[in-house]
C-alpha cells in the first residue's frame, strides 16, 4: 500500500513539474488536464473519493476546456488561422 | 527595477519561503496519524444521528451546511461574472457560428467521434443523475454529479455542432436551473426556520441509513446543488463557445 502511495505521490510531482515546464499554452492545457487526473487518483488512493470525483471533473475536464476555448478566442482575435492551431 | 535586482529580491523571498515551509513541515503530525477529535466523533455519531451512510455528505450538507451554501454562491457569482464579462461588447456583433466558414481549416468531425459522443450522452446523463441522487449514500453528490451532467452538454457539442447544443440546452434552461438550484438551497434552509428549528436544520424525516430516501434534507440539498452546478457549467460552456464562435469585432477574420 505504501508503495502505491509513494508512486502516486511521485507521479503528481512529475506531472506538476511537467505543467510548469510546458511553455506553449495549448500543450499546457492538455498537460494540466493530465495533472488533474493524476491528482484525482492521488485523492482516491488517500481515501478521499468525494474530493477525487470533484478533482477529476473540474481539473481534468472543466479547467482545460475553459483554457482551450479562451485560446481559440485569442487566436481568432489575432486573425491567425494557421495550419495547425485551429481550436 | 533591473533584472539583477529583481533576481536578488526573488532569491531572498524564495529562501525565506522555503525556510518557512520546512519549519512548517517539521511540525506536521506523523504520516497517517490523525490528531483532532472532530473526525473521530463524527465517525461515531454521524450515521446514528443523521442516517447518512456517507459521513462526508453528512458533514458538508448538514453539520457544516452553511459552508456549502457559501461555496454554492461562490460558483453562482463566478458564473454571473463570466456571463457579464463575456457579453457582446459595444462595437462587437453577433454573427452566425463560423464553424463552416470557408477559410476555416479545422478537420470535419469524424463519424467515430460523432457516434461515440452521441452514444455516451445518455449514459453520462444517467450517471450524473445517479451521482447527484446518491450523494448521501456513496461518494459523490450535487457538485460532482452536476459537473458530470454538464459534460453531457459538452459531448453534444463535440459530436454535433454549436447550433445543436443551443437547441438541446437553450440559455434560459441553464439560467433557470442555476437560479432554481441556488434558491432551492436557501429554501431548504428556511424550511428549518419554518419548523421552529435553526436555519438549515435537518427537519425532514431521516429514514433508515442506506435507503435512497434517507438522511432528511441531505439528498434534497444535493438535488439543489446538482441543479445549480449543472446549469452553471452549461452556462459557462455556452458563454465561452459563444465568445469563440459567434461574437465578432468589426474587421475580425471569421
How much is the pLDDT for A83? 43
How much is the pLDDT for A12? 94
How much is the pLDDT for B195? 82
How much is the pLDDT for A76? 73
Domain presence at residue B80: yes
How much is the pLDDT for B97? 64
- Reply yes or no on whether the pLDDT at B12 is more than 90: yes
Domain presence at residue B53: yes
How much is the pLDDT for B252? 56
Distance CA B92, CA B246 (A): 10
Domain presence at residue B7: no
What are B102-140's pLDDT values in tens digits?
Answer: 555 556 678 888 888 888 889 999 999 999 999 888 888
Q: Is A87 close to B106, i.e. CB distance below 8 A? A: yes
Share of chain B above pLDDT 70, in %: 91
ipTM score for this prediction? 0.74
How much is the pLDDT for B198? 83
Domain presence at residue B3: no
Among the partner residues A57, A83, A86, nearest to B144 by beta-carbon distance: A57
> What nine digits make up the cell of B187?
429554501
- Which of these, B201, B188, B230, lies nearest to B63 by C-alpha position? B201
Domain presence at residue B139: yes
Overall domain count for chain B = 1
Residues 40-69, chain A, touching B (beta carbon < 8 A): 49-50, 52-54, 57-58, 61-62, 65-66, 69
- Which of these, B225, B210, B182, B235, lies nearest to B51 by C-alpha position? B210
Distance CA B145, CA B222 (A): 9
Q: Are B231 and B173 in contact (CB under 8 A)?
A: yes
| 3-class DSSP assignment, residue B248 | strand
Domain presence at residue B15: no
Q: What residues have CB less than 8 Å from B203, skipping those under 6 apart?
A: B191, B192, B195, B197, B216, B217
Please report, for chain A, the start and end positions of each structural domain, with discontinuous segments joined by +: 2-78
Label residue A82 by pLDDT band (50, 70, 90). Answer: very low
Domain presence at residue B4: no
Domain presence at residue B8: no
Distance CA B160, CA B119 (A): 12
Q: Determine the structural domain holding residue B41 and report its residue range.
A: 36-99+109-248
**Cα B77 to the chain's mean position, in Å?**
12
Label residue B251 by pLDDT band (50, 70, 90). Answer: low
Q: Are B141 and B129 in contact (CB under 8 A)?
A: no
Helices B142-159/B111-133 angle, 10° precision: 160
Q: Are B145 and B223 in contact (CB under 8 A)?
A: no
Interface check for A4 against chain B (CB to CB < 8 A): the answer is: no
Span of A3-7, B113-117, B196-200, B207-211 with lowest mean pLDDT: B207-211
Task: Provide the shortest C-alpha distance from residue A9 to chain B (in Å).
Answer: 13
Whose cell is 469524424? That residue is: B110
CB pairs under 8 A between A and B: 58
Name B248's bridge partners.
B93
Distance CA B104, CA B240 (A): 19
- What is the residue-wise DSSP string for B15-74? HHHHHHHHHHHHTSPPTT----SHHHHHHHHHHHHH--S-HHHHIIIIITHHHHHHHHHH
How much is the pLDDT for A68? 85
Share of chain B above pLDDT 90, in %: 17
Q: Are A4 and A45 in contact (CB under 8 A)?
A: yes
Average pLDDT over residues B60-70: 88
Task: Provide the shortest C-alpha distance from residue A12 to chain B (in Å).
Answer: 18
Label residue B188 by pLDDT band (50, 70, 90). Answer: confident
The model's pTM is 0.79
Name the residue with higher pLDDT: A87 or A72.
A72
Label residue A85 by pLDDT band (50, 70, 90). Answer: very low
Residues of A in contact with B241 (CB under 8 A): 69
Q: Is B139 close to A73, i.e. CB distance below 8 A? A: no
Average pLDDT over residues A61-79: 80
> What nine digits make up the cell of B132?
447527484
Question: How confident is the prediction for chain B on average, in pLDDT?
Answer: 83
How much is the pLDDT for A41? 93
Task: Provide the shortest C-alpha distance from residue B53 to chain A (in Å).
Answer: 13
Whose cell is 482551450? That residue is: A68
Angle made by CA atoms A42, A43, A48, in degrees to the nearest 5: 150
Amino acid at each position: 500500500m505504501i508503495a502505491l502511495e509513494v508512486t502516486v505521490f511521485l507521479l503528481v510531482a512529475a506531472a506538476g513539474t511537467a505543467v510548469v515546464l510546458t511553455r506553449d499554452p495549448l500543450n499546457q492545457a492538455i498537460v494540466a488536464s493530465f495533472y488533474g487526473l493524476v491528482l484525482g487518483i492521488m485523492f482516491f488512493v488517500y481515501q478521499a473519493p468525494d474530493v477525487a470525483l470533484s478533482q477529476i471533473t473540474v481539473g481534468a475536464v472543466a479547467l482545460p476546456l475553459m483554457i482551450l476555448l479562451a485560446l481559440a478566442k485569442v487566436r481568432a482575435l489575432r486573425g491567425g488561422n494557421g495550419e495547425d492551431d485551429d481550436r | 527595477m533591473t533584472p539583477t535586482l529583481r533576481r536578488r529580491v526573488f532569491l531572498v523571498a524564495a529562501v525565506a519561503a522555503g525556510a518557512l515551509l520546512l519549519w512548517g513541515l517539521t511540525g506536521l503530525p506523523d504520516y497517517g496519524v490523525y490528531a483532532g477529535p472532530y473526525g473521530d466523533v463524527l465517525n461515531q455519531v454521524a450515521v446514528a444521528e443523521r442516517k447518512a451512510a456517507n459521513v462526508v455528505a453528512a458533514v458538508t450538507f448538514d453539520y457544516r451546511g452553511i459552508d456549502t451554501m457559501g461555496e454554492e454562491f461562490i460558483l453562482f457569482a463566478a458564473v454571473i461574472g463570466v456571463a457579464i464579462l463575456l457579453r457582446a461588447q459595444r462595437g462587437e456583433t453577433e454573427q452566425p457560428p463560423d464553424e463552416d466558414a470557408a477559410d476555416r481549416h479545422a478537420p470535419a468531425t469524424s463519424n467515430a467521434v460523432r457516434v461515440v459522443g452521441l452514444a455516451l450522452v445518455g449514459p453520462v446523463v444517467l450517471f450524473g443523475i445517479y451521482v447527484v441522487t446518491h450523494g448521501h449514500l456513496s461518494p459523490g453528490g450535487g457538485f460532482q454529479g452536476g459537473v458530470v451532467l454538464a459534460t453531457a452538454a459538452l459531448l453534444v457539442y463535440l459530436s454535433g455542432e454549436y447550433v445543436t447544443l443551443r437547441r438541446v440546452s437553450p440559455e434560459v434552461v441553464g439560467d433557470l436551473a442555476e437560479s432554481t438550484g441556488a434558491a432551492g438551497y436557501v429554501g431548504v434552509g428556511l424550511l428549518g426556520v419554518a419548523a421552529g428549528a435553526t436555519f438549515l436544520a435537518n427537519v425532514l424525516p431521516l429514514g433508515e441509513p442506506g435507503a435512497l430516501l434517507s438522511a432528511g434534507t441531505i439528498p434534497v440539498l444535493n438535488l439543489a446543488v446538482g441543479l445549480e452546478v449543472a446549469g452553471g457549467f452549461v452556462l459557462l460552456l455556452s458563454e465561452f463557445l459563444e465568445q469563440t464562435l459567434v461574437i465578432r469585432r468589426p474587421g475580425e477574420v471569421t
